Amino acid sequence: MTRRRWIADDWDEATATLKGAQAEHMVRVLRAQVGGQADVVAGGRVFHAEVASISDGGPGGRAEVRFNLVAEVESDPAMPVTLVMSIFKFDHMEWAIEKATELGVATIAPVIARRTEKHLALAAMKRVERWRRIAHEAAQQSRRSDVPVIHDPVKLSERVRATSSSKRIVLAEQERSTTLRGTLAEAIAAAGTEMPDLELAIGPEGGWAPEEEALFDANGWQAVSLGTRILRAETAAIAALAVVSSMLE
Ligand code: SAM
């Protein structure tokens, strides 16, 4: 039977602790017992762990579950991929964050593009904590050994102009000749034995504005196509990550 996997809130070399909602769930719903077995992620490493103590925190208190770390087990590092995601309808975006986490993305960088709806741009900063919670839950559910980093939203131009050693790729619905697959094959060949660090930029529902396409080009981003069909932003994000995963892993 596969052991449940938890991502620790605190840890040291020998123990790890769950607090908050995770601990509440273990104590009150799963009725965890001392001696119970689990996989616990602590500092990006995965351990076979045993419940050492359980505290329900008493009335109004906060539950806490402490584990002894028994033995390290093999962990699967995230793909070296940053998804630069233009902010779009929050429910679709949250679905994309969950799927991108399952697919192994390392970082998600929300950006405000020219055609990002104004009210979404204004509300984005208040949503980031929720996006981080969604990524944490999806990482746990997909038994990842780490949680993707989700940056605070910035203007697209700030991200495009930032210096980076990654291979930077913009998913461009107008692009016809260069494919994502072909660009990845070149980047993998150039990287030799290492996996290349990648940044993948996805536009908003309204697509990239002409001046944004020019900015990407002027800053060395490679425009690539996912084919002739126009995909929703969340579909394009997942399709691109699936192509990357199929070539990197
Ligand atoms: N408003 C645009 C149009 O109708 O042409 C569509 C934008 S699409 C909904 C949102 C984003 O998904 C695009 O900016 C692009 O980043 C990505 N995308 C969608 N289809 C794509 C394709 N066939 N190739 C590359 N990127 C695509």
Distance CA 194, CA 87 (A): 31
Cβ 73 under 6 angstroms from ligand 1: no
pLDDT at 195: 83
Domains (range + CATH), the chain:
5-73 (2.40.240.20), 79-248 (3.40.1280.10)
Please name the helix (run of DSSP H) or strand (run of DSSP E) that holds residue 222, with its range, or none: strand 222-224
Q: What is the pLDDT of residue 21?
A: 87
How many residues in total does the chain contain?
249
Q: Which two tokens stand for residue 187?
A: 């980047």
Confidence of residue 51 (pLDDT cuts 50, 70, 90): very high
170-184 b/e (C-beta count within 10 Å ≥ 16 → b): bbbbebeeeebeebb
* pTM assigned to the model: 0.85
- In 29-93, DSSP assigns E strands to 37-42, 45-55, 64-73, 81-86
Please name which of 67, 70, 62 lies closest in space to residue 25, comparing C-alpha atoms: 62
How does pLDDT run across 106-122, given as a tens digit for each residue?
999 999 999 999 999 99
**Which atom, in ligand 1's list, is nearest to the CA of 203?**
14
Q: Is residue 201 within 8 Å of 226, Cβ to Cβ?
A: no
As a whole number, mean pLDDT of residues 41-46 equals 89
Q: Does residue 134 contact residue 187 with C-beta atoms inside 8 Å? A: no
CB-based contact 198:80 (threshold 8 Å): yes
Residue of 86, 216, 231 to mutate, ligand 1, most atoms within 8 A of C-beta: 231
CA-to-CA dists, residue 19 to 9, 96, 165, angstroms: 6, 27, 37
pLDDT tens digits, 197-229: 999 999 999 999 999 999 999 999 999 999 999
When pLDDT is averaged across residues 123-139 and rounded to a whole number, the result is 95
Question: Measuring from atom 2 of ligand 1, which residue has the nearest CA?
Answer: 207
